[in-house]
Structure 1
Amino acid sequence: MPTSPEPLIIAVGGSGRHARVVLEAADLAGLAVRGVLTDALPAGEAFFGSHRVLGGLDRLHDRSLLQGCQVHLGAGDPDVRRAMAETVLARDGQLGTIIHPAGIISPSAVIGAGTFVAAGAIVGVGAVLAEACLVNTGASIDHDCRLDFGVCVGPGARLAGAVRCGADAYIGLNAGIRQDLRIGRGAIVGAGAVVTRDVPAGQTVIGCPARPLVR
């Protein structure tokens, strides 16, 4: 099971709620956490138990801080995750992977750096997850699926076999996607939607069967 071999720094985005999920998974997996970066608390304060704040998110620009550690993206928002990842990678930093011990990962699956797999999630045979993906609690990524950079899969969502999701796609809570479909870059699949045909890049679909959202 791929996990980060070097100490982790958790970059906390938004409310910090997702970061707490990430930190608990890291602790349960026995991973070393050097500390967190957040704009919500001053350096030296405790964040979620004994984890210490190392400074604000501006420190993601600090090459010296990034040496000898890996950064995990403690944010649920896809745009925030991408911005964090790009900042780290542009400064020759490394992204760290966290997989909850209660996640189920096929030995033949490939998990990209910076990806998070939550408790109860399943990643099936031959699935490939690129960098900075987020697979939330109880989600299922079936055999031969491919998730490009930054794809977020909501709690309880189900991707049948050989689904392809373009970069930054967002699959909502309890959504289902039929086998062999393509979800385009930046597309959004609404909560509970049942997708029976390809979704073009940038499109939002809702309902059962899923249809384009008319704004």
Structure 2
Amino acid sequence: MTNRLVVVAGGSGQHASVVFEAANLAGLQIVGIATMPGNATHVDPFVQFLGEMPDVFEPLIACDHKFVVASGSNDERRFIHDFLVGKGGQFQTVIHPAAMVSPSAKIGHGSVIHAGAIVSTNAELGIGVIVNHAASVDHNCILGDFVNISPGARLGGGVVVGNSVAIGLNASILQGRTIGYGAVVGAGAVVVQDVEPGTTVVGVPARNINK
């Protein structure tokens, strides 16, 4: 039996619509969209709505469907992922056909690579990573779990990104730098030094605003 995909929407559901479209264009068989309680007010009305967590998930798991969690929030993606893992859920990676992913790159389950994104040679992405539209992850980068690379962001070669990092729109990170666990890189920032875990950096060059 062929596994079919369930898109699990968090937040307003807008990001879920983008993931749904990418999965559809990638030729995946999609069952529909499920949501968190009280969320996903912008789910496309033409997409099959399956119900809310937690009640709807057990029968879907029993049917051997696979899941992709569609939320821009790193914490929410991790929460939903861990819930589904506890129920025995399996996950699907979604790669838009207009993305460029090296055959030598390693992509963790449940990750989403959007249109125009580039994941280069020997890059490694963890679980539940988002590489948004026109973002670039260069050769030998290592990204942890539940990382969000915003549209237009650029990572030079050999950048190491910890779990749950958010990198803002059009940010640039010089080659070989390390971004610590849970850090936030602001939109348009240019990172020329390592970023400490749990901090927020902004500006050109990027500076720590937590100090």
TM-score > 0.5 by shorter chain? yes
Q: Of 22, 25, 30, which aligns to 2:22?
A: 25
Q: TM-score, normalised by structure 1?
A: 0.91
Q: Of 198, 201, 204, which aligns to 1:208?
A: 204
Partner Cα separation in structure 2 for residue 77 and residue 41 of structure 1: 13
Structure 2 residue aligned with 1:64: 59
Q: Which amino acid aligns with 1:37?
A: A
Q: Of 131, 145, 151, which aligns to 1:149?
A: 145
Alignment of 1:127-166 (within 5 A): 127-166=123-162
2:167/2:187 contact within 8 Å kept: yes
- CA deviations on 1:46-75 (whole Å, 9 max, x unpaired) are 952642111112236x43321311111111
1:168/1:185 contact within 8 Å kept: yes
Structure 2 unpaired stretches of 5+: none
1:41/1:53 contact within 8 Å kept: no
Work out the number of aligned pairs and report it: 207
Q: Of 117, 120, 132, which aligns to 2:116?
A: 120
Alignment of 1:22-101 (within 5 A): 22-38=19-35, 39=37, 47-48=43-44, 50-59=46-55, 62-67=57-62, 68-101=64-97
2:109/2:128 contact within 8 Å kept: yes
Secondary structure in structure 2 of the residue aligned to 1:58: coil
Question: Which stretch has the larger CA shift, 48-57 or 98-107?
Answer: 48-57
2:5/2:32 contact within 8 Å kept: yes
Partner Cα separation in structure 2 for residue 59 and residue 125 of structure 1: 41
Alignment of 1:106-117 (within 5 A): 106-117=102-113
1:13/1:74 contact within 8 Å kept: yes
- CA deviations on 1:134-163 (whole Å, 9 max, x unpaired) are 000000000000111101100000000000
- CA deviations on 1:156-184 (whole Å, 9 max, x unpaired) are 00000000000001100000000011000
- RMSD over aligned Cα, in angstroms? 1.8
Moved over 4 A (4+): none
Structure 1 residue aligned with 2:13: 16
1:174 is the counterpart of 2:170 = yes
Percent of residue pairs identical: 43
